[in-house]
Amino acid sequence: MKVGVVGASGYVGGETLRLLVNHPDVEIAMVTSRQHVGEYLHRVQPSLKGFTDLMFSELDYDKLTDQCDLVFTAVPHGTATEIVKALYDRGIKVIDLSADYRLHNQDAYDKWYGWEHPHPDYLAKSVFGVPELHREAIKKAQLVSCPGCMAVTSMLALAPLIRNDIIDTEHIVVDSKIGSSGAGSGSGTAHAMRAGVIRPYKPAKHRHTGEIEQELSEIAGHKIRVSMSPHAVDVVRGILCTNHTFLKKDIEEKELWKLYRQAYGEERFIRLIRDKKGLYKFPDPKFLVGSNFCDIGFDLDEDNNRLIALSASDNLMKGAAGSAIQNMNVMCGFDEMDGLRNTPLTPV
């Protein structure tokens, strides 16, 4: 199958290309970038040297339509709206890695992103790209919108708890720690600004909250409110979400194990992590770098009736490009692990 990537000069676009060049069922037909037209991909994405001789092209909808069966859009938030619509109208399958079609309600864009969506009729055409939650819809979709990195990491830990109605859905607190690559390839990721840092940013009203509330409310059948506070930490890749929830009833550890196994026992990209020995007792993003896994664990605080659901992922993989490839595999009938059979890199 021939695919294109629109906007492949950043971290997410580069990671998408890294995965595509090794996918057994895919040929990269076209890659676009506004700034780097005519340059070899490896001049901007050095890890691709020796894997492809493609050059960056201008964004040409007719050429994309002629040359590609599916297109990934990896452009900044707010700039994908017109590109996605144009491709969708031409009948191409689209996987969007921006936030522009993640939310179903047009009013949510004003609340969480501060702008009015120009094509609200297309929001209902988009499927939220978490196969563990929406696999059957993704199979039939023409447009899939990949989730935000902190959103998917936290919601996978919380979804089984809400589905089984064991936690107080009025009081959910998501404490997320994320590496510098989650901020994109801009100057804010410079080493001098990130080294030694545990920096809160947007401690209230972070935009990923909208996705989490949307998806968990759909599971619950009623409005869910989530309090989320992210922190920048001194790593390059990785997310750890400490999800604080409060139990509606007493529950034993073995019941929680059963609940999570029922939810994810057949899922190949979710690993349940809770060990009594060693350093790796709970999910740890250090042991997920380069992989598409989301690790989930938990602990119980009986004194305060609190269940702490812990989840970790690589923000450029399960939080972005890895999810995009997984969604492509589901949409196109490939094995879901194709192009993603990578064990995590360690040590890093």
Bond before 347 cis per omega within 30 degrees: yes
Could you give the strand order of the β-sheet that contains 294-301, starting from the edge strand earlier in sequence?
Answer: 198-200, 227-233, 173-178, 239-246, 306-313, 294-301, 270-272
Residue 12 in tokens: 């997410």
- Among the listed residues 68, 146, 149, 294, the single catalytic one is 149
Structural domains present in the chain: 2-146+320-332 (3.40.50.720), 150-313 (3.30.360.10)
Q: Which residues are annotated as a binding site for NADP(+)?
A: 9-12, 315
Question: Is residue 149 among the annotated active site residues?
Answer: yes
Q: Which residues are annotated as a binding site?
A: 9-12, 315
With 0.85 as the threshold, say if the pTM is over it: yes
State the virtual CA torsion across 321, 323, 327, 328 in degrees, nearest 10. 20
- What's the number of CA atoms in the CB half-sphere (13 Å) around residue 100? 24
**What tens-digit pLDDT sequence spans the chain (348 residues)?**
999 999 998 899 999 999 999 999 999 999 999 899 999 999 999 999 999 999 999 999 999 999 999 999 999 888 999 999 999 999 999 999 999 999 999 999 999 999 999 999 999 999 999 999 999 999 999 999 999 999 999 999 999 999 999 999 999 999 999 987 766 555 455 666 778 888 898 899 898 999 999 999 999 999 999 999 999 998 999 999 999 999 999 999 999 999 999 999 999 999 999 988 878 899 999 999 999 999 999 999 999 999 999 999 999 999 999 999 999 999 999 999 999 998 999 888
3-state secondary structure of 314: coil
Q: Give me the pLDDT at residue 62, please.
A: 95
